[in-house]
Amino acid sequence: MKFIGRTDEYFEIVNIEDSNIDRIKEPVEEALSIIWFEEDGNEFTVDARDYVFNKDEIITLTGFHNVKINKLGQAKYLRFNRPFYCILDHDSEVGCKGVLFYGSARLPIIKPDEQDLDRLKTVWKMATDEMDSRDTLQQEMLQMMLKRLLILFTRIYKSQDGYDDIELPQVDIVRDFNFLVETHFREKHAVSDYAALLNKSPKTLSNIFKKVYDKTPLQLIQHRIMLEVRRLLRYTDNPISEIGYEVGFNDVQSFSRFFKKNEGISPSEFRTA
């Protein structure tokens, strides 16, 4: 079921199975998507990394992710584009920027408990039912249901990811850091660069991140660089020197040392593996 507005607004909510699995692969410009797995043993390759997702796990994806579906049972699928609802312009409403979308190199995997599932199923059904409406308020109602889902997903993920251990101002710092890394990782590689953008000291960032992640701010920056490099090595034919330059390295030697330190093999070995 799809909603398409007069000015290219796009919203889709559908049940996925073998017969319509190609729906996930259909390109939609500036789209964000959510997959809610309803069976165990779903095998995906996302940005050259293999994952197995089980029942009632939920993932969020942007158009930047390269996704290969190796095995998929039944799943719920939701997708919307920026004209329908822009999470950047409405961050104060849903707070998912830098958490569910446009965050660090980690793929968000949401794992709701039974109480969470009851809430999510209720709102998801309301959104699905609203797709049958054909009045002038349909878009507004769908946006309302989407916002409720995004808020619930964000709360669940924050709770499981350690955000409850820090105060609200520090949560915003983590979210803003993640988003800034997503925006600037190609040219800014030092923690001090992001500390300056946030008007904080590198030490302050390190102390906050110790409470949330098992990685330092520098490691998160490097992981985001590595994510992009893996994508380029695996899914393009660009020369290795060009890939290094694209992510901010001035010479192939320093890029190769960086890659091997983080991956354990050289860029050329990774490309041919």
Write out pLDDT tens, residues 129-159. Answer: 999 888 889 999 999 999 999 999 999 999 8
Could you read off the pLDDT of 157-182 as tens digits, one per residue? 998 877 777 788 888 999 999 999 99
Q: Looking at 64-68, 94-98, 127-131, 144-148, which range is the least confident one?
A: 64-68
Residue 23 banded pLDDT, cuts 50, 70, 90? confident
Residue 55 banded pLDDT, cuts 50, 70, 90? very high
Which pLDDT value is given to residue 135?
Answer: 86
Which pLDDT value is given to residue 104?
Answer: 65
Give the global pTM: 0.89
Count Cβ neighbours within 10 Å for each residue of 54-77 and write b for 16 or more, e otherwise. Answer: eebbbbbbeeeeebebeebeebbb
Which pLDDT value is given to residue 105?
Answer: 66
Count Cβ neighbours within 10 Å for each residue of 108-124 and write b for 16 or more, e otherwise. Answer: bebebeeebeeebeebb
Share of the chain above pLDDT 70, in %: 99
Domains by residue range for the chain, with CATH: 2-161 (2.60.120.280), 168-272 (1.10.10.60)
Q: Which residue has the tokens 């994510």?
A: 227
Share of the chain above pLDDT 90, in %: 78
Which pLDDT value is given to residue 111?
Answer: 97
Highest mean pLDDT among 14-23, 72-81, 101-110: 72-81
| 3-state helix/strand/coil string of the chain | CEEECCCCCEEEEEEECHHHHHHHHCCCCCEEEEEEECCCCEEEEECCEEEEECCCCEEEEECCCCEEEEECCCEEEEEEECCCCCCCCCHHHHCCECCCECCCCCCCEECCCHHHHHHHHHHHHHHHHHCCCCCCCHHHHHHHHHHHHHHHHHHHHHHHCCHHHCCHHHHHHHHHHHHHHHHHCCCCCCHHHHHHHHCCCHHHHHHHHHHHCCCCHHHHHHHHHHHHHHHHHHHCCCCHHHHHHHCCCCCHHHHHHHHHHHHCCCHHHHHHC
Residue that wins the pLDDT comparison between 19 and 237: 237
Residue 17 has pLDDT above 70, yes or no: yes
Could you read off the pLDDT of 173-218 as tens digits, one per residue? 999 999 999 999 999 999 999 999 999 999 999 999 888 777 899 9
- The mean per-residue pLDDT over the stretch 250-258 comes to 95
Residue 24 has pLDDT above 70, yes or no: yes
Residue that wins the pLDDT comparison between 31 and 105: 31
Could you read off the pLDDT of 259-273 as tens digits, one per residue? 999 999 999 999 988
Average pLDDT of the chain to the nearest whole number: 93
